[in-house]
């Protein structure tokens, strides 16, 4: 299919470039002392929020393809919507439907898992254990466990990754205890052998992303596959022990643990003939462990002898690289992203972020597509993230990202650039308010410097976010006690156009309350001097031209 953009009749863009600045995790929250964005000293954002070219966007729930408007947005679906110009059904919604209508259990992959179970192989489930609905949902695990019991799978093992990030910081037992009760009941009533085998916190075990720290994946491999690690008689004992040993410890940073039987042997190492299902539907933190299980030639850590296992992801986590080869739920096909159209028009562009969000401004932005669309027109720059807890370095790599963006902008080669400043999200996830304030202030300074360059180059900048996080750092319980919040928020996010050359050529679209991140792509096209793509969601600006189509 040949892609083509039409030029606007009355607006050709500005002389200089268009820069999209994504302030990850910086939403619009209540003006109170839990809101790091509100507390922070942000002279640049204050001016932008007061400008006439500002509006609020929805970045959660159905606005980004999630099942309900109670579902928090996240960086994956946010960048999909930003780059696609339309809303596609996303992970949780797809998995919900596939489990509800039973297509998961009718798939070739599930039938292959059944055959392994019939021959005595254990079925292992690995993944994030919570109802945060960002990477996974415990109900999906329950549905598959129940199906295993209904069809008399003899041996099932669960390897739990504890959340404390998209849910309460010390909420692990709220999920572990009911799971253990369910497994005990199945084992008792049906004479089957179902148990929790291993676990650990999501930031310590298994769920690394973007090759930031393969030691995290190796710890998961040792724990889940080899049964090597600190031993406990139950997951409840492991979690309670870690809590007692460090009163400040939160679930996402819990060390790995292995559950043993009465004889001291691990109850669930992965063996020849077994099947392994990774239950996360979101791709970024599932790709590395999937590679470890599915690649014959693998060198990122020493796996030891690779057992003969059938490995399946809940979804395909990387469509271009086919990771993993086997998966249970078919993803939405996101085609004709805004970057594909711009490449078709020979528009040169760049994308920059640090490691933690690099895949978001490239892979997710491009509709879950790896690599360049057209390497002759695009430049992707990854700045290596710090390998420490982000509250200890809340500036992260904002300055380096800003400096590289300025360098590229000043070359005059690029018509469009996009960057992600990760501070508001990654530091917000730590739950430390003071650190989040520093993070937001770092973003504000960098945005200010970027806008100065855009003014000098006679360009335009769009400033927005993919979801909220630092805009609500704690909540109050019924007694008025503070409870740190590490999860994303449901708050709207800012959308601001910084256009020093603005002469009333366009207006912001009427504020209907329905605008979301998917409206940004058409706006980008308009500000570059192009008509929107016909089936893209409407632009957030209205050109003052009677022939203009919004």
CA 86/CA 98 separation, integer angstroms: 22
Backbone angles phi, psi at 141, to 5 degrees: -60, -45
In 3D space, the residue among 189, 206, 190, 209 whose CA is nearest the CA of residue 198 turns out to be 206
> Going by DSSP bridges, is the β-strand pair 193-201/257-259 parallel, antiparallel, or unpaired?
antiparallel
Least Cα distance to 289 among 227, 360, 215, 196 occurs for: 215
The DSSP code sequence of 317-352 is SBTTTTBSS-EEEPPP---S-HHHHHHHTT--EEEE
Do 207 and 163 touch, CB atoms closer than 8 A? no
In sequence order, what are the beta bridge partners of 54? Answer: 496
Give dist(CA 403, CA 409) in Å, integer. Answer: 10
SS3 83: helix
Active site residue 384: no
Beta-bridge partner residues of 20:
418, 462
Residue 524 φ/ψ, nearest 5 degrees: -60, -45
Could you give the 3-state DSSP secondary structure of residue 143?
helix
Start-to-end Cα distance in the chain: 24
Q: In what order do the strands lie in the sheet with 327-329?
A: 231-232, 257-259, 193-201, 155-162, 123-128, 275-278, 310-315, 327-329
d(CA 316, CA 199): 23
> How far from chain centre, in Å, is Cα 372?
20
Distance CA 406, CA 493 (A): 25
Q: Which of 75, 332, 339, 470 is catalytic?
A: 75
Regarding beta strands 257-259 and 275-278, do their DSSP bridges make them parallel or antiparallel, or are they unpaired? unpaired
Decide if 471 contacts 34 (C-beta within 8 A): no
C-alpha span between 538 and 550 (Å, rounded) = 6
Instruction: Answer whether 126's CB lies under 8 Å from 159's CB.
Output: yes
Q: Enumerate the active-site residues.
A: 75
């Amino acid at each position: 299919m040949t892609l083509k953009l039409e030029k606007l009749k009355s607006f050709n863009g500005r002389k200089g470039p268009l820069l999209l600045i994504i302030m990850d995790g910086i939403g619009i929250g209540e003006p109170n002392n839990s809101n790091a964005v509100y507390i922070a000293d942000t002279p640049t954002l204050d001016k932008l929020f007061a400008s006439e070219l500002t509006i609020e966007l929805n970045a959660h729930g159905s606005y980004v393809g999630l099942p309900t408007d109670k579902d928090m947005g996240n960086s994956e679906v946010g960048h999909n919507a930003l780059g696609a110009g339309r809303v596609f059904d996303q992970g949780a919604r797809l998995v919900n439907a596939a489990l509800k209508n039973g297509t998961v259990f009718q798939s070739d992959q599930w039938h292959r898992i059944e055959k392994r179970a019939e021959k005595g192989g254990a079925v292992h489930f690995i993944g994030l254990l919570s109802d945060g609905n960002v990477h996974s949902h415990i109900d999906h695990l329950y549905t598959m466990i129940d199906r295993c019991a209904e069809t008399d799978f003899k041996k099932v093992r669960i390897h739990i990754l504890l959340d404390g990030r998209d849910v309460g910081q010390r909420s692990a037992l709220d999920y572990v205890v009911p799971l253990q009760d369910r497994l005990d009941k199945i084992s008792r009533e049906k004479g089957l052998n179902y148990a929790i085998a291993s676990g650990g916190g999501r930031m310590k075990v298994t769920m690394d992303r973007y090759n930031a720290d393969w030691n995290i994946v190796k710890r998961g491999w040792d724990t889940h596959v080899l049964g090597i690690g600190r031993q406990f008689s139950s997951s409840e004992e492991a979690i309670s022990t870690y809590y007692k040993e460090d009163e400040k410890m939160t679930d996402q940073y819990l060390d790995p643990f292995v559950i043993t039987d009465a004889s001291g042997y691990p109850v669930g190492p992965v063996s020849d003939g077994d099947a392994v299902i990774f239950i996360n539907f979101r791709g970024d933190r599932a790709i590395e462990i999937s590679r470890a299980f599915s690649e014959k030639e693998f060198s990122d850590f020493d796996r030891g002898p690779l057992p003969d296992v059938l490995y399946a992801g809940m979804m395909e986590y990387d469509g271009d690289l086919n990771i993993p080869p086997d998966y249970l739920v078919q993803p939405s096909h996101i085609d004709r992203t805004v970057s594909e159209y711009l490449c078709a028009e020979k528009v040169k562009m760049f994308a920059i972020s640090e490691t933690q969000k690099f895949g978001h401004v490239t892979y997710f932005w491009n509709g879950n597509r790896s690599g360049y669309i057209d390497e002759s027109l695009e430049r992707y720059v990854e700045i290596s993230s710090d390998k420490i807890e982000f509250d200890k370095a809340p500036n992260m790599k904002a300055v380096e990202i800003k400096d590289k963006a300025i360098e590229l902008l000043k070359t005059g080669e690029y018509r469009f650039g996009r960057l992600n400043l990760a501070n508001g999200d990654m530091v917000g996830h730590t739950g430390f308010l003071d650190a989040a304030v520093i993070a937001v202030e770092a973003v504000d300074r960098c945005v200010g410097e970027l806008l100065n360059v855009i003014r000098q180059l006679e360009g335009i900048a769009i400033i927005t976010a993919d979801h909220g996080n630092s805009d609500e750092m704690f909540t109050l319980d019924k007694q008025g006690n503070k409870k740190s919040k590490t999860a994303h928020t449901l708050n709207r996010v800012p959308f601001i156009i910084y256009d020093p050359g603005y002469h009333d050529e366009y207006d912001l679209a009427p504020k209907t309350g329905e605008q979301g991140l998917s409206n940004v792509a058409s706006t980008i096209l308009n500000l570059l001097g192009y008509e929107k793509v016909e089936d893209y969601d409407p632009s957030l600006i209205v050109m003052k031209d009677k022939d203009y189509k919004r």
